[in-house]
C-alpha cells in the first residue's frame, strides 16, 4: 500500500478536452454501426461517414475507455514478425508487402500529424537497449542486414557511448531508430474522434453492444440503449473484445499493459536521464518501455507487470522496481498516476482485418496499435465501402486460434514465466 494517493486516470487524460458524445436520438437503423470508439473504430467511421453512409460508433465505456487514450504514444514500425519469418510462412512477395505496409502505416500517421491533426507529434527517435551482450550482437547484425527496400535508419550505440542516450548502465549498448517518434495518445484519439464527427459520424458513449444477429438487410444489433438495424457492422474492440463474438474471442488474447507516471522531477533532471527525450524500449521478451512526459517533467514507464490484474495500483511497486533497476537514481521518487489497458494479441503476432459471417473486423495489434490502428482502421472503412484502396497485404491471412482457447488464455501464465526466466538468464 502506498503512503500517498495515486490517480488511476492516465496522465495524458488529465488535461484532455474530450469531445462531447452524440446528443442525437438513438437511431433505429443505420448504414454502418461501429463497435468500439478507439483509433480503429474512429478511423473507419470517418471513411464511411465521409462517403455519406450514416455511421454510428458505440462504445461500452466513457469516451477514451480503451487503449487509445492510455498507451505509451510510441510511434514505430509495428510489424512484429521479422521479414525472414514471414517469408518462410507466406513467401517473399507477401512478406515484403506486409513489411512495406508496416512502413507505410508510419508514413501515414506522420503525414496526418504534419498536415491534418494535432497529436503533439515529436521526431524524437527510439533507443532500443540491449539486455545482454548477445542481444547487442544480434541487434548490430540485424541493423547491418536489413532487407532491401525495407530499410530503416538505425544508428548502433556501443556500450561505451550509451550515456549519450540514457543515464543508465543497465544496457549493453543498443540501437537508435532515428525515424521513430512519439505522440500524445489522448490527443491522437481526440483528433481522430473530431475528424470522424466532422464527417458526420455519431459517437455514443456508455452503450454496450450485447448481440449481433443476422437480419434481412444486414444485422439486428442489440445494445444497452435499444435495438438498431445496421446494413454493415464493424468490430473494432481489440483487447476488449469480450463475449460479443465467440469467434473473435478465440483469436484475440487480451493482455494487461500497465503504466506509471512519476511525480514532476523537473525538466533538467529528466533531460539528464534521457538527453534526446527518446522513447526507450529494450530487448527483453517481457518488454518495458518508457519516455519523458510531453511537458518533459516526468518519466512515464510501462510494461507487462502482470497478466490480468485489473487494479493498476497493484502493479505500482513492481513497475517501480523495474524502473529503479534501470534508473537507480529514481528509487525514491513518488508515482502520481498508474493505469492499465488491455491490448489484443494474436497467435501469429500479426494484425487481422476482414469479414467473418458478414461482420467486418479489424484488430490484433499486439500492443502496437498507435500506428497500425489508425491506418488499418481507415483501410477497413474503405473495404466496407467496396473501395480498392482499402486492400491490404493482410487481407485473406488465416486468423489463427488454439485448441481449447475459448475465454481464459490458460497458456499465458506458463509462457510469460518461461519468457521471464529466459530474460533472467540472458538468453
Ligand X SMILES: Cc1cc2nc3c(=O)[nH]c(=O)nc-3n(C[C@H](O)[C@H](O)[C@H](O)COP(=O)(O)OP(=O)(O)OC[C@H]3O[C@@H](n4cnc5c(N)ncnc54)[C@H](O)[C@@H]3O)c2cc1C
SS3 state of residue 113: helix
Using CA of residue 321, residue 12, residue 112, residue 254, what is the dihedral sign?
positive
Q: Which of 40, 48, 293, 392 binds ligand X (CB under 6 A)?
A: 40
> Which of these ranges, 20-28, 38-46, 158-166, 413-421, lies near ligand X under the rule CB under 6 A?
38-46
CB of 391 to ligand X, least distance (A): 20
179-208 residues in contact with ligand X (CB under 6 A) are 208
Q: How many other C-beta atoms lie within 10 A of the C-beta of residue 150?
A: 15
Residue 37 is a binding residue for ligand X (CB under 6 A): yes
Q: Looking at residue 259, what DSSP letter applies?
A: E
Distance (Å) of CA 32 to CA 27, 58, 59, 201, 360 = 12, 11, 14, 10, 10
Residue 316 is a binding residue for ligand X (CB under 6 A): no
Yes or no: say if 57 and 202 are a contact pair by the CB < 8 Å rule. Answer: yes
Dig out the grid coordinates for 80 from the structure.
512484429
SS3 state of residue 193: helix
Residue 221 is a binding residue for ligand X (CB under 6 A): no
Residue 392 is a binding residue for ligand X (CB under 6 A): no
CB of 221 to ligand X, least distance (A): 10
Residue 242 is a binding residue for ligand X (CB under 6 A): yes
Q: Which of 38, 81, 174, 254 binds ligand X (CB under 6 A)?
A: 38
Residue 67 is a binding residue for ligand X (CB under 6 A): yes
CB closer to ligand X out of 68 and 262 = 68
- Alpha-carbon gap, residue 146 to 165, rounded angstroms: 23
Residue 58 is a binding residue for ligand X (CB under 6 A): yes
Q: Which of 53, 70, 187, 298 binds ligand X (CB under 6 A)?
A: 70
148-177 residues in contact with ligand X (CB under 6 A) are none
Residue 315 is a binding residue for ligand X (CB under 6 A): no
- The secondary element (H helix, E strand) that includes residue 202 is strand 202-204
Radius of gyration of the chain (CA): 21
CB closer to ligand X out of 174 and 369 = 369
Dig out the grid coordinates for 151 from the structure.
530499410
Q: Where are the alpha helices (DSSP H) in 217-368?
A: 246-249, 267-273, 316-326
Per DSSP, what are the bridge partners of residue 291? 300
Residue 257 is a binding residue for ligand X (CB under 6 A): yes
Yes or no: say if 338 and 315 are a contact pair by the CB < 8 Å rule. Answer: yes
Q: What residues contact 279, with CB distance under 8 A and at least 6 apart?
A: 72, 74, 76, 124, 125, 126, 127, 180, 182, 289, 290, 291
> Which of these ranges, 60-68, 147-155, 309-317, 353-361, lies near ligand X under the rule CB under 6 A?
60-68
- Alpha-carbon gap, residue 298 to 321, rounded angstroms: 17
75-114 residues in contact with ligand X (CB under 6 A) are 78
Residue 239 is a binding residue for ligand X (CB under 6 A): yes
CB of 13 to ligand X, least distance (A): 12
Residue 61 is a binding residue for ligand X (CB under 6 A): yes
333-372 residues in contact with ligand X (CB under 6 A) are 341, 343, 363, 365, 367-371
> Which of these ranges, 56-64, 80-88, 193-201, 394-402, lies near ligand X under the rule CB under 6 A?
56-64
Residue 305 is a binding residue for ligand X (CB under 6 A): no
Yes or no: say if 326 and 198 are a contact pair by the CB < 8 Å rule. Answer: no
* 233 closest CA partner among 68, 344, 380: 380
CB closer to ligand X out of 41 and 292 = 41
Q: Roughly what angle, to the nearest 10 degrees, separates helices 92-115 and 83-90?
A: 130
> Which of these ranges, 57-65, 124-132, 143-151, 265-273, lies near ligand X under the rule CB under 6 A?
57-65
> Which of these ranges, 18-26, 33-41, 85-93, 147-155, lies near ligand X under the rule CB under 6 A?
33-41
Dig out the grid coordinates for 266 from the structure.
523537473
Q: Would you tell me which residues interact with ligand X (CB under 6 A)?
A: 35-41, 58-61, 65-68, 70-74, 78, 208-209, 236-240, 242, 244, 257, 259, 302, 341, 343, 363, 365, 367-371, 373
Amino acid at each position: 500500500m502506498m503512503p500517498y494517493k495515486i490517480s488511476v486516470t492516465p496522465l495524458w487524460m488529465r488535461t484532455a478536452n474530450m469531445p462531447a458524445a452524440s446528443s442525437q436520438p438513438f437511431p433505429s437503423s443505420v448504414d454502418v454501426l461501429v463497435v468500439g470508439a478507439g483509433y480503429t473504430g474512429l478511423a473507419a467511421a470517418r471513411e464511411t461517414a465521409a462517403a455519406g453512409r450514416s455511421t454510428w460508433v458505440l462504445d461500452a465505456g466513457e469516451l477514451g475507455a480503451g487503449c487509445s487514450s492510455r498507451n505509451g504514444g510510441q510511434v514505430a514500425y509495428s510489424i512484429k514478425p521479422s521479414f525472414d519469418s514471414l517469408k518462410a510462412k507466406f513467401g517473399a512477395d507477401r512478406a515484403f508487402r506486409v513489411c512495406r505496409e508496416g512502413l507505410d502505416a508510419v508514413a501515414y500517421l506522420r503525414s496526418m500529424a504534419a498536415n491534418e491533426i494535432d497529436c503533439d507529434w515529436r521526431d524524437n527517435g527510439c533507443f532500443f537497449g540491449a539486455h545482454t551482450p548477445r542481444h547487442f550482437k544480434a541487434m548490430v547484425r540485424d541493423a547491418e542486414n536489413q532487407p532491401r527496400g525495407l530499410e530503416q535508419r538505425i544508428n548502433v550505440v556501443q556500450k561505451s557511448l550509451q550515456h549519450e542516450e540514457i543515464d543508465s548502465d543497465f544496457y549493453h549498448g543498443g540501437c537508435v531508430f532515428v525515424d521513430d517518434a512519439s505522440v500524445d495518445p489522448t490527443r491522437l484519439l481526440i483528433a481522430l474522434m473530431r475528424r470522424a464527427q466532422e464527417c458526420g459520424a455519431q459517437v455514443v458513449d456508455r452503450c454496450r453492444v450485447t448481440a449481433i444477429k443476422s437480419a434481412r438487410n444486414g444485422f439486428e444489433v442489440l445494445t444497452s440503449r435499444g435495438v438498431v438495424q445496421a446494413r454493415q457492422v464493424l468490430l473494432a474492440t481489440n483487447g476488449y473484445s469480450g463475449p460479443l463474438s465467440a469467434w473473435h474471442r478465440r483469436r484475440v488474447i487480451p493482455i494487461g499493459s500497465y503504466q506509471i507516471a512519476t511525480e514532476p522531477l523537473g525538466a533538467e533532471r529528466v533531460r539528464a536521464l534521457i538527453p534526446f527525450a527518446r522513447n526507450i524500449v529494450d530487448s527483453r521478451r517481457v518488454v518495458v518501455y518508457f519516455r519523458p512526459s510531453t511537458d518533459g517533467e516526468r518519466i512515464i514507464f510501462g510494461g507487462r507487470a502482470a497478466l490480468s490484474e485489473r487494479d493498476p495500483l497493484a502493479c505500482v511497486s513492481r513497475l517501480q522496481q523495474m524502473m529503479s533497476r534501470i534508473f537507480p537514481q529514481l528509487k525514491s521518487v513518488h508515482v502520481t498516476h498508474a493505469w492499465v489497458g488491455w491490448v489484443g494479441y494474436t497467435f501469429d503476432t500479426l494484425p487481422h482485418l476482414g469479414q467473418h459471417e458478414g461482420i467486418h473486423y479489424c484488430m490484433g495489434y499486439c500492443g502496437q496499435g498507435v500506428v497500425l490502428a489508425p491506418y488499418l482502421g481507415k483501410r477497413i472503412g474503405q473495404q466496407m465501402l467496396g473501395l480498392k484502396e482499402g486492400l491490404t497485404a493482410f487481407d485473406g491471412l488465416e486468423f489463427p486460434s488454439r485448441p481449447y482457447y475459448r475465454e481464459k488464455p490458460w497458456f499465458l501464465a506458463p509462457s510469460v514465466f518461461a519468457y521471464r526466466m529466459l530474460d533472467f538468464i540472458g538468453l
